[in-house]
Amino acid sequence: MSSYNDNTRPDWDQALIDIVDYVRDFRPEGTLAWHTARHVLIDSLGCAMEALDYPACRKLLGPWVPGATLQHGARVPGTGFQLDPVKAAFDIGTMIRWLDYNDTWLAAEWGHPSDNLGAILAVADWMSRNAAASNRAALTMREVLACVIKAHEIQGVIALKNSFNQVGLDHVALVKLASTAVVSSLLGLNREQSLAALSQVFVDGQSLRTYRHAPNTGSRKSWAAGDACSRAVRLALIAQTGEMGYPSALTAPAWGFYDVSFQGRAFRFERDYGSYVIENVLFKISYPAEFHAQSAVEAAMTLHHRLRELGHSSDDIQKIVIRTQAACIRIIDKDGPLDNPADRDHCIQYMVAVPLIFGQLTAADYENDVAADPRIDTLRAKIRCVEDPQLTADYHDPDKRSIANGLTVHFKDGSVLEEVLVEYPIGHPRRRDEGLPLLEEKFRRNLARRFDATQQQRILAVSMEQAALERMPVHDFMDLFVASRQHG
């Protein structure tokens, strides 16, 4: 490492080289990776269709300037918008992430690798349309799926050993990084331009996590990934012009990312880039809940039925103890008033109380009308989390990667129900055979929110068949998702 005043131009940081060369050279081969990428795609688009039910999401969509359109622009699924790829990336990424219902990766850093689809779909669609309009070969959905595999891998492999949350930064920094890497490839940037684009990611300021935590939890956490996708596209387009990069953006003494934002620590790596992350990604299948609470919600649903069988209600409960992992306590263990839906879907007490009382947890259950039920806050106040060091160890164990929660209900009469422990929620790779049919059903339900029966069948005919999807031009696939009915 050079001294502060040494003006010798350094070589590119190795971490940047490794990412660029992986994206340029790696060819995914495993069937599991390709098939899981398809499931990631359809699940993410389904989440986006459900998000359109919510005015708070819809108000953020559309052109930067009202009324602006772009010939051969990127489609925003479920709407009539056709936009420049920078804004389309924002819109698609925001829709996918809005309800906290798309896929998840848990390690030293947490995140949602399918967030990158905002950038991938916007750029691929825009490029495919312009190619077709010029009688050139359009991009196919196989190229989209390859980008999904690689974006998952970049975000997930860095997350394995490097905690952004511990220095107060949000995980969407990794969305910006992974999206910039794969979008640079889609745009045809050469190696030097791709390295320049990645260096700009680290020169950029990174988002603070404050919007995810008490006392500031708010709706920016639902559009932060869209913002990262949009910025990634913009940085790649800047680099495409030949704009210079910054070779030691990570390692420069005093002024590089490591010293300024990462407490002087260099990134550590557990494994080389391949297709590990996509093959082991976690799906949110049954509940729109922060993933560290997924197993707790499953346990709460079991307990709801037991309470009914015993003739008990939430009024009979004295306390509930949640035996959990450290990450759960760090992110979603929360007391006090909950001010908005974004606050509630990051509170494990709320996510346990609702299914215990109502026997369900849907996106609508975070809205104000449901939250106004006084039984929820009364029960929340009776729930406390206790870390179990073994559950924390199992969470980090690469052979397990469990996300366990155990719920024990204590009644006012002194009786106690046996703990209900769920180690691996339904979206975990260990339950993949059980989960995928339910994931596909979730997609069908979400299509029905936006499209008539004929259009649903056209989408399903392609989306459920791997070979048909892979060979379809991107713009033809995205045209299937043009809104056929108006939302409220």
pLDDT digits (tens, 9 = 90+) for 85-144: 999 999 999 999 999 999 999 999 999 999 999 999 999 999 999 999 999 999 999 999
φ/ψ of 289, rounded to 5, equals -140, 145
**Residue whose structure tokens are 């920078």:** 86
Per-residue confidence at 297, pLDDT binned at 50, 70, 90?
Answer: very high
259 token code pair: 């010293």
Q: Say how far residue 129 (Cα) sits from the centre of its chain.
A: 27
pLDDT digits (tens, 9 = 90+) for 387-408: 999 999 999 998 999 999 999 9
- pLDDT of 3 over the 80 cut: no
351-367 mean pLDDT: 97
Exposed/middle/buried for residue 387 (C-beta within 10 Å: 0-12, 13-18, 19+): middle
Within 13 Å and on the Cβ side, how many CA atoms surround 407?
28
**Residue whose structure tokens are 């309800």:** 99
Amino acid at site 459: I
Core vs surface per residue 252-283: b (16+ CB within 10 A) or e? beeebbbbebbeeebbeeeeebbbbbbbbbbb
Q: What confidence score (pLDDT) does residue 488 get? A: 42
CA distance 61 to 59: 6
Q: What is the chain's length?
A: 488
The DSSP code sequence of 401-460 is ----EEEEEEETTS-BPPPEEESS-TTSGGGHHHHHHHHHHHHHHHHHHHS-HHHHHHHH
pLDDT digits (tens, 9 = 90+) for 196-212: 999 999 999 999 999 99
CA distance 457 to 463: 10
Q: What confidence score (pLDDT) does residue 198 get? A: 98
Q: Is 194 helix (H, G, I), strand (E, B) or coil?
A: helix
pLDDT digits (tens, 9 = 90+) for 209-246: 999 998 999 999 999 999 999 999 999 999 999 999 99
- pLDDT of 438 over the 70 cut: yes
Per-residue confidence at 1, pLDDT binned at 50, 70, 90?
Answer: very low
Per-residue confidence at 6, pLDDT binned at 50, 70, 90?
Answer: confident
Q: What confidence score (pLDDT) does residue 7 get? A: 87
- pLDDT of 466 over the 60 cut: yes
155-161 mean pLDDT: 97
Q: What confidence score (pLDDT) does residue 428 get? A: 96
Residues 6+ apart with CB under 8 A from 311: none
The model carries a pTM of 0.93
The DSSP code sequence of 245-274 is --TTTTT-TTTSHHHHHSTTPPP--SS-SS
CA distance 404 to 395: 8
pLDDT digits (tens, 9 = 90+) for 246-295: 999 999 999 999 999 999 999 999 999 999 999 999 999 999 999 999 99
Per-residue confidence at 172, pLDDT binned at 50, 70, 90?
Answer: very high
Q: What confidence score (pLDDT) does residue 456 get? A: 98
- pLDDT of 306 over the 80 cut: yes
Residues 6+ apart with CB under 8 A from 110: 104, 159, 165, 171, 291, 327, 331
For all residues of the chain together, what is the average pLDDT? 96
